[in-house]
Amino acid sequence: MSIAYYEQDRFFHLKNEHFSYCMRVDDHGHLWHLYYGAPIGLTGAEPLVNYQKHTSFWSVLPGEPNSIDTVPLEYPGSGTADLRPCALTTVDAGFDGVTDLRFDSYEILAGKPHIDGLPQVYLNEGEIAETLKITLKDSVKELYADLYYTLFGFSGALSRFTVIRNGGHSTVRLQKAMTATLSFGDKDFELIHLHGAWGREFELERTPLTKSVQTISSFRGSSSHTANPFAALVRPDTTEDSGEAYGMSIIYSSNFEIETETDTFDCVRVNIGINERGFEWTLNPGESFTTPEAIFVYSANGLTAMSQTYQKLYQNNLIRGYWRDRLRPVLLNSWEGVSFHFDGEKMRSMARASARMGVDLFVVDDGWFGLRDNDHCALGDWVPNEPKLGGTLGELVKYVNDLGMDFGLWFEPEMISEDSDLYRAHPGWAIKVPNRAASLGRHQMILDLTRADVREYIVSAVTGVLRSANIVYVKWDMNRNMSEIGSEQLPGERNGEFFHRYILGLYEVLERITTEFPHILFESCSGGGGRFDPGMAYYMPQNWTSDNTDAIARLHIQYGCSMVYPPSLMTCHVSKVPNGRTKRVVPFETRANVAMQGSFGYEFDPSLLTDEQIELIHEEIKEYKQYADLVLHGRFYRLVSPFTTDACAFETVAEDKSVAIATYVFTAGVAMTSRRRLRLKGLDADAVYTETHSGQTYSGSFLMNAGILLPAQRFDFDSVRYIFERRS
Ligand code: DGJ
């Protein structure tokens, strides 16, 4: 790993065993992006410089040889002759809308600087990293942009973030402040991104890059179900195992934007960061603004290598705390079983059945507080409904503990119902624009987390409940998009700061609560995967992946999710059939096989199960636990895509290749097909493996090259799970 600066060419070369990243400063102070890709040996800029010829329509500054509209600028300002989508737009009180950034200085720092108030990748004890800080300056506004690049000694990822500083004497308004820009000298790429909807998250789409602007973004006040804050540029021939892939992921949970433009010269520019739509920030003299961090991953060997780099980095250097590396409790969540419709005896009977199933953690979802018997009321009133619970919360928790299980509880702390004591006491705490109606989402409004008093209330309400009983798990939900944005306390001209201030407020609240309760396992949720992003993963080591628990739908969702996120972050539950969302009837065994891809649990009313079903589940949990460490922390491989075939298969292999677990699911019945083979990946080619259920032995090379012969499909949505253990 090295960060080198060659004075003669003013050439920067960041290099490790995975990639080279090259830039240079030209005679006029423009910082050029020259190269990002497989490692190269190079000590000067010249071989990489490619001046694009410009014609009369390209504007040129006096004294400069070429138009910056044709230069691959590393962090482009705006209002200049560079008319492509830019990284930074600013305006001052005199309406000077030009931001002309030129090289000022650079510094090489040991380690990785801490980013105040935002989630970020961190270093563990003994891990090394090096950071390049390049400062660009707009001399007229005396505005600085510090570009940070961190290389890691233990990962092929590249971290980027930017700090904008006002060093002048007048106020400047930021209208767009992206984290980073990437440039490519050709357009021979396809764009992969994770589109979706509530109940259909992580829909993997791969499209050619077109000659125009393509934007992956959210404007929903959260990273959203609709778009995950991730995209990849890949070569048309890139597969799981070969070809180039450039991954781009933002550690942020609010409005984001990944904007690609293919320009006139067929060069590609990508800007990544906070969505400029709905963003403004006032920077007074002496103030600074820090963008969220972006993580880039270059892979020369296909998508699996890219995903594994993300999964490992996010598992070991983003997720934090007590639960990071621990096996997660197998839980039963009450929501899909009974929703709001329960009383104390119902919960207790569900708890008794859960204990017989062998689950570790019993979770009471929505409906335990205030007068919450439906979704029209009570959000904000975080007081246990004792008549409904049949006693105090502490008594219910004790009942569950006495059955040998831990207890977990659902909250939706950012919300407020109009029909709540909280709203009656503090109507101004809800987000709304004065004199306008506010849309309701799921009949609820959102608390204004830009306000310190609201944040204080949330912390004290949630921690008060957590202190009142032996609660070891919290599901932190958030169930609507933001609209009619307005805050009583934010002056009108700073309304454009709302979205970012909201998420900074939420991050502050989460930091305080998770620090006070380091042993509680927090699970993020936003109607499933509406805020399944790296920002949330910094505070909460688990995320409810989707409200769609149909196993076949889940194959798609979990497959897409695995592009970026580690299995431990992804929670997967077995639910009843016909499935509530899709009405599909998937066999019990397949439902479990699919849910065993991540942090495992159940979501139905267990008190309705027969003794025989309880016994089966008991065995299933035992088997999951035997391999839970492998599932959560092994190397994950996508084997067969449900998006392009009539099946899905995935595999996890231990780091030392001693054991692997592979699952194959038939997603559609097809007549007259011969038996298929499943080819595994990542095994020790020369070793002999025993498949534990059948006792059959195979060489690693056989399993990877010829493939295990799958059984014929017996019924719709049939599946098989194999465990291969290396013979010593
Ligand atoms: C949405 C979540 O995704 C569900 O799992 C459940 O917790 C409900 N909210 C409860 O209202």
Which tokens in the block code for residue 351?
């708890």
Which tokens in the block code for residue 216?
């992956």
Give the residue, by CA position, lying nearest to ligand 1 atom 9.
527
Backbone φ, ψ for residue 663 (5° rounding): -125, 135
Distance 505 CA to ligand 1 centre (A): 23
The 8-class DSSP code of residue 326 comes to S
Does any ligand 1 atom lie closer than 6 A to the CB of residue 365? yes
Query: Which of 340, 525, 572, when mutated, tests ligand 1's pocket best, judged by the most ligand atoms within 8 Å of its CB?
Result: 525
Model pLDDT for residues 558-581, shown as the tens digit of each residue = 999 999 999 999 999 999 999 999
Q: What is the mean pLDDT of the chain?
A: 97
Query: Which of 375, 479, 536, 546, when mutated, tests ligand 1's pocket best, judged by the most ligand atoms within 8 Å of its CB?
Result: 479
The 8-class DSSP code of residue 580 comes to T
Is residue 15 within 8 A of residue 22, CB to CB? The reply is: no
Distance 410 CA to ligand 1 centre (A): 8
What residue ranges in 334-413 does DSSP mark as E strands? 361-364, 406-411
Q: Using CA atoms, how far apart are residues 517 and 511, in angstroms rounded to an integer?
A: 10
Beta bridge partners of 529: 526
Q: In which band, very low, low, confident or very high, does the pLDDT at 593 lie, cut at 50, 70 and 90?
A: very high
Distance 164 CA to ligand 1 centre (A): 39
Does any ligand 1 atom lie closer than 6 A to the CB of residue 529? no
Give the residue, by CA position, lying nearest to ligand 1 atom 3.
527
Looking at residue 47, what is its pLDDT? 97
What residue ranges in 612-681 does DSSP mark as E strands? 635-640, 647-653, 659-666, 677-678
Looking at residue 56, what is its pLDDT? 78
Give the residue, by CA position, lying nearest to ligand 1 atom 11.
366
Ligand 1 atom closest to residue 475's alpha carbon, by position in its atom list: 7
Checking if the pLDDT of 728 tops 80, the result is no
Q: Which of 26, 82, 146, 547 is catalytic?
A: 547
Give the residue, by CA position, lying nearest to ligand 1 atom 6.
335
Dihedral (C-alpha) 371, 375, 377, 378: value to the nearest 10 degrees? 60
Q: For residue 27, indicate whether it is catalytic.
A: no
Which tokens in the block code for residue 553?
């739908």
Model pLDDT for residues 56-94, shown as the tens digit of each residue = 788 999 999 889 999 999 999 999 999 999 999 999 999
The pTM of the full predicted model, rounded to 2 decimals, is 0.98
Q: Which of 82, 100, 263, 477 is catalytic?
A: 477
Distance 510 CA to ligand 1 centre (A): 19
Checking if the pLDDT of 131 tops 90, the result is yes
Looking at residue 417, what is its pLDDT? 98
Q: What percent of the chain has pLDDT over 70?
A: 100
From the list 162, 170, 163, the residue with the least C-alpha distance to 140 is 170
Which of 41 and 671 is assigned the larger pLDDT? Answer: 41
Looking at residue 54, what is its pLDDT? 72
Backbone φ, ψ for residue 222 (5° rounding): -145, 170
Model pLDDT for residues 42-62, shown as the tens digit of each residue = 999 999 999 877 777 889 999
Q: For residue 547, indicate whether it is catalytic.
A: yes
Model pLDDT for residues 159-176, shown as the tens digit of each residue = 999 999 999 999 999 999
Looking at residue 380, what is its pLDDT? 98
Is residue 149 within 8 A of residue 348, CB to CB? The reply is: no
Does any ligand 1 atom lie closer than 6 A to the CB of residue 367? no
Query: Which of 410, 481, 554, when mutated, tests ligand 1's pocket best, judged by the most ligand atoms within 8 Å of its CB?
Result: 410
Is residue 233 within 8 A of residue 190, CB to CB? The reply is: yes
Looking at residue 604, what is its pLDDT? 98
Q: In which band, very low, low, confident or very high, does the pLDDT at 654 lie, cut at 50, 70 and 90?
A: very high
Is residue 482 within 8 A of residue 490, CB to CB? The reply is: no
Looking at residue 51, what is its pLDDT? 82
Cα–Cα distances in angstroms (integers) from residue 540 to residues 156, 517, 536, in the given order: 24, 12, 6
From the list 310, 299, 307, 306, the residue with the least C-alpha distance to 19 is 299
Checking if the pLDDT of 540 tops 80, the result is yes
Beta bridge partners of 416: 445
Q: Using CA atoms, how far apart are residues 287 and 172, in angstroms rounded to an integer?
A: 10
